[in-house]
Amino acid sequence: MPSLIRPTFIGRMLFVWSLIIVAFFVDPAPAMAEYGDVVINNYSDAAGMRPVVFPHWFHRIRFRCKVCHADLGFKFKAGGNDINMYKIIEGKFCGACHNGKIAWSVKNCIICHSGKPGTPIQIHESTQQELAVPTGFLTK
């Protein structure tokens, strides 16, 4: 029985090109954010802003945990700190560094408010998240 995939030039080319095309169309695995990324969405969605994505890894390269979690009073709970822009501008929470002196200022809204709209509060990839999927995460 003659088959299309034969050791001929066209056969080989067909095989190679089909593999390439399949590789383009097949999504091998879902892309995931970095372990420990915190999505903060206490007020953002309701205010028409994108939720905040806090990259933990980026900050721990530059500051030890103590700086934020002891000195600045960040509780160890995603969404558990009542952060709003007034407090940040007054120099509390993020505003302690994001004041244009230690780090870039709060005027760069879109660098923090960069999450997909509607993303629930979470610590990304956390054990708890794997046990209990946050509400609305799968239905989107």
Residue numbers at the binding site for another protein (CB under 8 A): 2, 4, 6, 8, 10-11, 14, 17-18, 20-21, 24-25, 28-37, 39, 50, 53, 55-58, 60-67, 69-72, 76, 96-97, 102, 108-117, 119, 123-128, 130-131
Q: Rounded distance, CA 42 to CA 80, Å?
A: 9
Residue 3: CB minimum distance to another protein, A:
8
Q: Which residues contact 140 (CB under 8 A, 6 or more apart)?
A: 118
Tokens 């009542």, residue?
Answer: 82
Neighbours of 78 (CB within 10 A): 22
Residues 126, 122: Cα–Cα separation, whole Å:
8
The residue (of 6 and 84) whose beta carbon lies closer to another protein is: 6
Whole-number minimum distance, CB 22 to another protein, in Å?
10
Q: Minimum CB separation from another protein for residue 24, in Å?
A: 5
Q: How far is the CB of 13 from another protein (least distance, A)?
A: 8
- CA–CA separation, 8 vs 23, rounded Å? 23
